[in-house]
Amino acid sequence: MSVTDFSVDSPVPATASGPLAGIVVLDLATVGPAARATRILADYGAKVVKVGAVPGRGVEPLRPPFYAYSGGRYLAQSYFDLKDAGAAAAFLALVTRADVVVESFRPGVMDRLGLGFDVLKEANPRVILCSTTGYGQDGPRAQWAGHDINYLAVGGYLAATEPAADGGPPVSGATIADAAGGGMQAAMAIMAALVGRDRGRDAVHLDVSIADGVLWLTSLAIDEHLATGNPVGFGHNIITGRYACYDTYQAADGGWLAVGAIEPKFFANLCRLLGCEQWIAAQHDDAAQPAIRADFAAAFATRDRDDWVAVLAGADTCVTPVLSLDEVAEDDQFLARGAIVVAETPDGGEGPRAFRQVGAVMAGMDPPAQPVKLGPSDVTLTRVLLEGAGVADNVVSDLFERGVVA
């Protein structure tokens, strides 16, 4: 068996069908944006091998809980001690059969391991190396440690969002930097590089900066500042809380509703249904905003959240309920679109034998058959991969005996 068909007759689940079928990805990341990127690639049909550190050798890496990153859906696993020269050489043998290598070490680590881009390119002239870091491979912050909140902070996102009760920047309820600024950016860059390679481009090193991705996510506001010099932040314009037509309001039962009535026709519909017709012509009147908000708040407080949803949501008002995660899990819209699926493990691992998870929900992904069959938690594919890559049997045996692969 080779690295290009590892799902055949093996104890790991088959890959997804999709436009990336046949693409092989070696993923050196365990958590964070790079893992989000390869999650996307796997759901588009790529064959992703998670190449982790050998358990028990050196510092134990952070291992995500059983449900994280879709519970390893469609992913195979393998362990290499890349600090060992023999194991690193064996990993290079896998690179010769792969299309993409994804890593999230700090800048310079791959070079110190003897696995920098030049080395990978020599092994495979068509390889795509995607390095996903907080701040990129260069610049004064390149070696800084960080997490989602840090990238949202330096990219302007926190400053452009409604302050917390104490006036300070908020803490996001989702890992926007990791998922979108980093993970989606990396996945898009890899797919673009694959298209470029098919058109004759050589190997490429993708320098994915999560902070750069957040900068792009915040670019509507930043571009305005760059072009005009105006101070831009929360409450500056219609999508950052300046007007009552774009806000949240509490209902009688304590539930909340989100209002996004930007277009005048939607705002007019909302005013009529709330009994606030007097404000239809004052949508963008700054002086009137406190009074409009007060009247809207008073109106919303007269009925329960779902009663208002029944009246407003289908009436071209751009009103939706603010759903808790419990409610999201049972939401009829998501369920109707097959967004929540059941996953099943052969052994349960650290979690239950079967559990629900978000499915392959992005456009162009093929929905998985249910239940989604996850691979055994204690099975690795290292021996199969090395043999398929042409590594001699005695070399493979030596690597296992020395404990530098598993």
Please give the Cα distance from 345 to 372 (Å, whole number). 8
Radius of gyration of the chain (CA): 25
What dihedral do alpha carbons 241, 178, 24, 373 form, nearest 10°? Answer: -90
Residue 147 is a catalytic residue:
yes
Contact 64, 30 (CB under 8 A): yes
Residue 295 is a catalytic residue:
no
> Phi/psi zone of residue 395: left (φ > 0), alpha (ψ -120 to 50 degrees), beta?
alpha
Active-site hit among 118, 147, 202, 253: 147
> Phi/psi zone of residue 72: left (φ > 0), alpha (ψ -120 to 50 degrees), beta?
left
Active-site hit among 27, 178, 212, 247: 178
E strand or H helix that includes residue 133:
strand 128-133
Q: Which residue's structure tokens are 């989100």?
A: 258
Please give the Cα distance from 341 to 227 (Å, whole number). 46
How do the residues of the chain divide into helix, strand and coil, expressed in percent and rounded to 5? 40, 15, 45
Q: Provide DSSP, 73-99.
A: TTEEEEEB-TTSHHHHHHHHHHHTT-S
Contact 45, 15 (CB under 8 A): yes
Contact 59, 32 (CB under 8 A): no
Active site residues: 147, 178
